[in-house]
Amino acid sequence: MTLKSDSKDLAGVYEGAATRPWTKLYASSVGPPDAGATTVLDLFCAAPREAPAVFYFDATLTYAELDRLSDRLAGWLGERGVGSGDRVAIVLQNIPQFLIAAVAAWKLAAIVVTLNPMYRTPELSKLFADCKPKVIICHDDQWDIVFAAAGYVDPALVLWTSGREFQTRNDSRVLRETVGGAPPARTLAQAFAEDTSAPAAPALSSDDIALLLYTSGTTGVPKGAMLTHRNLVANALVCRDHFEFSRATRIFGVAPLFHVTGFEIQLVAAFAAGAALVLTYRFEPTTALDAFLEHKPTFIVGAITAFIALMNQSSAQSAHFDSFIVVNDTVLNDLLQLLLGNTKCGLHFVEGAHEVIPVDTKVLDVIRDPCHRPNLGDISPSSSYCRSDATSEHTLTCLLNAKLVALLTNPPISAPEKFLVRPASS
């Protein structure tokens, strides 16, 4: 399915985007990404086949293995009538099958629909009625909830899988024993087991819809945002270049893959760089710390509550974080080392600031000023401000992964002079 716009209309859209008011806040070196005619499937296919694509507990899957399994799934679904423009609903946690299902959908020129696996039947019923999926893939322990919401969907195309597949560790902190009635005949593993021929290369365009992503529904009925391959590729290239992702990069999956952060900055950006994802089903702080030591991820992005949870673990040591790389900012590296040397420290989110900072804003300045309350127009790529806790004696502020946060130590620390950077004059 392609968004109905001719090339002239699309050119106008991209020209208009380049002149939006916020573009004046970009660094001079930042330009609009050139996604060209590239699709997300092209990014995946260009990744080195022998390179690791996913680390999942004690399992490692290469890009070649993801390619082979997604071929089988795409062939299996294609034989059952799934094709161009059909919606494939993926209702999964952060597991390898999520990637396999998404790539299989694109190999059929179908549209991925990502949905929160914590949703219950009433929520799923409304979303399924709106997006009308041809295929639904869920977890075994959600089978009853999802199947009750599936409605008109062919029961043979409502499939389940388990977070316990592909690994042998069965970590009880996140992987529960399954108790339920998921029918054995509907398992995703049957498609992987069949030696189904890969489908013919799809007639896939960069202007085809790649992802249907629903808003949270906090202030109204959830709305499906239609994101094209061009949309996803352009943002993935920005992330790849800004964060300097490479084949050596390992991205820890804090954000759920069904969320735009996890899907774009983790999954698609990894494809763009030929990098690997480190997945642990869902975020649980002690499980994450173990994965940090085992798989040595180099990049992490997520909700501020996840970082609070990590910092609150009594078992956390500086060694857990040694593998992470902060791009182009030795001051921030030193700052993190300083905080890790403190016995007690907290991490506070500065509300709303991330909504005015583009994804390609660079980590540039650190400012100590707990009482400053700037106008949003003051925020620029060459200065970082915050609205912070005015009762704190020492508040250190930095831009980390394009989100403005306050790093607050308790008890207060004496900040080295180099952390007292004042905003550059305009």
Give yes or no: residues 222 and 334 share one domain.
no
Last residue of a domain, one of 242, 263, 284: 263
From 191-200, 226-235, 398-407, the region with the lowest mean pLDDT: 398-407
> Is 418 a member of any domain?
yes
Give yes or no: residues 247 and 387 share one domain.
no
CATH of residue 226's domain is: 3.40.50.980
Give yes or no: residues 102 and 203 share one domain.
yes
Which amino acid, residue 327? V
Give the residue with greater pLDDT, 298 vs 349: 298
Q: Which pLDDT belongs to residue 28? A: 58
Q: Give strand ranges (E) for 47-134.
A: 52-56, 59-62, 87-91, 111-114
Cα–Cα dist 16/109, whole Å = 29
Other residues' Cβ atoms within 10 Å of the Cβ of residue 375: 7
Give yes or no: residues 250 and 345 share one domain.
no
* The model's pTM: 0.77
Give yes or no: residues 97 and 239 share one domain.
yes
Judged against a pLDDT cut of 90, whether residue 409 lies above it is answered with no
Give the residue with greater pLDDT, 396 vs 140: 140
Give yes or no: residues 109 and 204 share one domain.
yes
Give yes or no: residues 106 and 250 share one domain.
yes
Judged against a pLDDT cut of 80, whether residue 61 lies above it is answered with yes
Q: Which pLDDT belongs to residue 195? A: 85
> Is 97 a member of any domain?
yes
From 154-163, 169-178, 191-200, 385-394, the region with the lowest mean pLDDT: 385-394
Judged against a pLDDT cut of 90, whether residue 414 lies above it is answered with no
Give yes or no: residues 62 and 193 share one domain.
yes
Q: Which domain holds residue 135?
A: 33-263
Other residues' Cβ atoms within 10 Å of the Cβ of residue 311: 16
pLDDT in tens, 116-168: 999 999 999 999 999 999 999 999 999 999 999 999 899 999 999 999 999 99
> Is 19 a member of any domain?
no
> Is 323 a member of any domain?
no
Q: Which pLDDT belongs to residue 232? A: 95
Q: Which pLDDT belongs to residue 313? A: 87
What is the overall mean pLDDT for the chain?
Answer: 77
Cα–Cα dist 344/114, whole Å = 38
Please spell the DSSP secondary structure of 156-206, one letter per residue. GGEEEE-TTTT-S---TTT-PPP-S---GGGBTHHHHHS-PPPPPPP---T
Q: How many domains does the chain have?
A: 2
Last residue of a domain, one of 263, 282, 311: 263
Give yes or no: residues 62 and 158 share one domain.
yes
> Is 318 a member of any domain?
no
- Angle, helix 63-78 to helix 96-107, in steps of 10 degrees: 50
> Is 339 a member of any domain?
yes
Span 367-387, mean pLDDT?
31
Give yes or no: residues 85 and 206 share one domain.
yes
| Percentage of residues of the chain with pLDDT beyond 90 | 53
Give yes or no: residues 102 and 210 share one domain.
yes
Give yes or no: residues 347 and 213 share one domain.
no
Last residue of a domain, one of 237, 263, 289: 263
Give the residue with greater pLDDT, 290 vs 200: 290
Q: Which pLDDT belongs to residue 238? A: 86
